[in-house]
Structure 1
Amino acid sequence: MNLFQLRAFDAVAREGSFTRAAARLFISQPAVTGHIKALEEHYQITLLRRTARRVELTEEGTRLAAITRAMFGLAEEAQAMLEANRQLLTGRLEVAADGPHMVMPMLASLRARYPGITVNLRLGNAQETLAALLSEHADVAVLTEVEPRKGLHLQALSESRICALVPEGHPWARRTKGVPLKDLDQVIMVLREPSSITRRTFDDACVQAKVNPRVLLELDSREAVTEAVAAELGVGVVSSVEVSHDPRVAAVPIIGEGLVNRHMMGCMERRRDLRLIQAFFGLAPSR
């Protein structure tokens, strides 16, 4: 069995791309292709299906990828343990986050303290961020409202409050002390999709308070909500950590129960002692 071929396959399986796999292994793309072709020909098996847009695993490839991920994951842990006493002069950290606002200051601190560390940041929604962490496509993640589960290490970061987003000329824009949740009953609103953590928190609070806003639009990004509010299509909601500095809109705290979200950092429990992961956790702001 040729470990070079298996490592090339593992890299393509993780990255979903020959180009990114080559970059991950610091070899040429033809070398990656050659290793996988030799592996498939030797064992008379098709492991990858090439499409116009990406590389997909066959059923056999999926089974092999589960083995190689565990195998090379252990090898990476062994290497990290052996280098634990060395200074963090070089390295690569895969970070996932469900929004840029909390993770960016932490990455700036990481850059200042460990300038030789390369970071790959994946931004996605809450489900995508958690999935990246659990599948070990990410070493660490910054998450919102994640329930504890076996094998997952979580560390509290901060809390944020749900705010109403209104046009600058709206009567609520000057209510610095906030607007009661009950005032949103029958108000026309433009909100994120139902799977959004901010939307779910707001919806749950409305159900508990028997408040029934009129949802006019459902949008798939914070930016789209901001544009809709600026166009005076309705009132939006936004987390207090995600408030933009757009002069066309104003964020006003919503007063009521259940309108707080918890933010945390996470990694796989078995990897929490790796030095690079510990270094990232050490960047968490003081609460």
Structure 2
Amino acid sequence: MPFDEALLTMDIDEEVTLRKMRVFLSFMRLGSLSAVADELSLSTVSVHRALHSLEEGLRCPLFRKSGRALLPLPTAHAFAEYAQRSLAACEEGIRRTRQVAGFEDTRMTIGSGYSLTVRTIPQLIFGLKARRPQLDVNLKLGSTRELLQMLREEAIDAAVAVMSDQEAIDDDVLTVELYRDPVMFAAPLDSPYAALDTMDLRLAREQPFVALNQDFITMQAMQPLFDKAGFQPRIALRAGNLFSLANLVAEGVGCGLLPSRVALFNTRLRLIPLTAEFAHWQSIRLVVPRMHERKPNVLALIAECRSLPEANG
């Protein structure tokens, strides 16, 4: 916004302060030095000194003495109107500035991957509400790609997303890793693989697989594992989320490569660790725009992410 140069060059005496105007307005309302002192937790001497120095700063009298009392002059009534406006404008300016800085935000929208809503997100929101009881938290779900787009469009304030180590991170965002989730071979409980302690992916060359849509980071990260195993999987069916995918594996539609967290929402499948050659992890990270990382709500969210049990190993 353009600044009024005339205001910037005004000769306002340093004795004219907001604090003294507050004392002055209290006196104009209460009419008693002792009453103002009680209201503002000051001594009567401090109240008298503030009023006198304000007169010196204005370079004109505001009161006349009548015995021990101070009676307002017309100048005091004239100044009171503008002093009240000045304090109100300053208070509104401070409120608006804090609002822009995020210090008075009472709403926060967090984006999340679908599969993180079983345990991670509830724990995170519960802890965040304990830190910021006044906060109203909204949740939006999507794939990692969708969540990052929401962040760019400022449709969400932060995202908890599933990312790979190779995921390109823009310089204008800050990420905090909550935990690393190992990718495992998933098979029905009655599968011949269910008795194995570890799974060599090459053994599943002839098996049908179920997989997520290509938009999901889970599916994109699996391709290098199949390349290393020397075969392209025969995809029997694709699903739009890990919940559905785990159910398809449990019902015997096909095998899959799934993160270990699917064990939280389906107990009818066997998750087998991959052999060291095929070991792979997903990184569960908080992603926030760097320009907002100092906002109190974001700082509280970052602190809560770092305090989650998964984040501590």
State the TM-score bracket (shorter-chain normalisation): 0.5 to 0.7
SS of 1:182's partner is: helix
**Aligned equivalent of 1:79:** 99
Contact 1:92/1:119 (8 A) holds in 2:
yes
**2:300 paired with 1:282:** no
**Aligned equivalent of 1:197:** 217
- 1:263 maps to which of 284, 287, 299: 284
Which one-letter code corresponds to 2:281 in the other structure? V
Contact 2:102/2:295 (8 A) holds in 1:
no
**2:264 paired with 1:244:** yes
- Following TM superposition, the consecutive aligned residue runs of length 4 or more in structure 1 with deviations greater than 6 angstroms are none
**2:158 paired with 1:140:** yes
Contact 2:132/2:297 (8 A) holds in 1:
no
**2:113 paired with 1:98:** yes
**Aligned equivalent of 1:218:** 238
Q: Deviations over 1:65-120 (max 9, x none)?
A: xxxxxxxxxx9875153847xxxxx7111100123243221112112333321100
**2:133 paired with 1:115:** yes
- 1:158 maps to which of 158, 179, 190: 179
SS of 1:137's partner is: coil
Which one-letter code corresponds to 2:278 in the other structure? E
Distance (Å, rounded) in 1 between the aligned partners of 2:260 and 2:222? 13
Larger Rg: 2
Q: Deviations over 1:97-147 (max 9, x none)?
A: 123243221112112333321100111111111111111111111122242
Distance (Å, rounded) in 2 between the aligned partners of 1:82 and 1:152? 17
Contact 1:186/1:212 (8 A) holds in 2:
no
Q: Deviations over 1:172-229 (max 9, x none)?
A: 2233x32112222222111111222111111121113323322111121222212322
**Aligned equivalent of 1:3:** none
**Aligned equivalent of 2:10:** none
Contact 1:155/1:265 (8 A) holds in 2:
yes
CA separation of 1:82/1:161 partners in 2, compared to 1, >3 Å: closer, same or farther? closer
Distance (Å, rounded) in 2 between the aligned partners of 1:76 and 1:241? 43
Q: How many residues align?
A: 207
- 1:209 maps to which of 214, 221, 229: 229
**What is the CA distance between 1:248 and its match in structure 2?**
2.2
Distance (Å, rounded) in 2 between the aligned partners of 1:171 and 1:76? 65
Once the two structures are aligned, what percentage of the paired residues are identical?
Answer: 18
Q: Deviations over 1:219-248 (max 9, x none)?
A: 212222123222211112221123334332
Contact 2:159/2:286 (8 A) holds in 1:
yes
Distance (Å, rounded) in 1 between the aligned partners of 2:96 and 2:192? 57
**Aligned equivalent of 1:52:** none
Distance (Å, rounded) in 1 between the aligned partners of 2:294 and 2:190? 51
Gaps of 5+ in 1: 1-74, 85-89
CA separation of 1:210/1:92 partners in 2, compared to 1, >3 Å: closer, same or farther? same
**Aligned equivalent of 2:34:** none
Contact 2:161/2:287 (8 A) holds in 1:
yes
**Aligned equivalent of 2:24:** none
TM-score norm. by structure 2 comes to 0.60
Distance (Å, rounded) in 1 between the aligned partners of 2:182 and 2:103? 41
Distance (Å, rounded) in 1 between the aligned partners of 2:282 and 2:144? 12
SS of 1:212's partner is: coil
Distance (Å, rounded) in 1 between the aligned partners of 2:285 and 2:210? 27
**What is the CA distance between 1:263 and its match in structure 2?**
1.9
CA separation of 1:77/1:143 partners in 2, compared to 1, >3 Å: closer, same or farther? farther
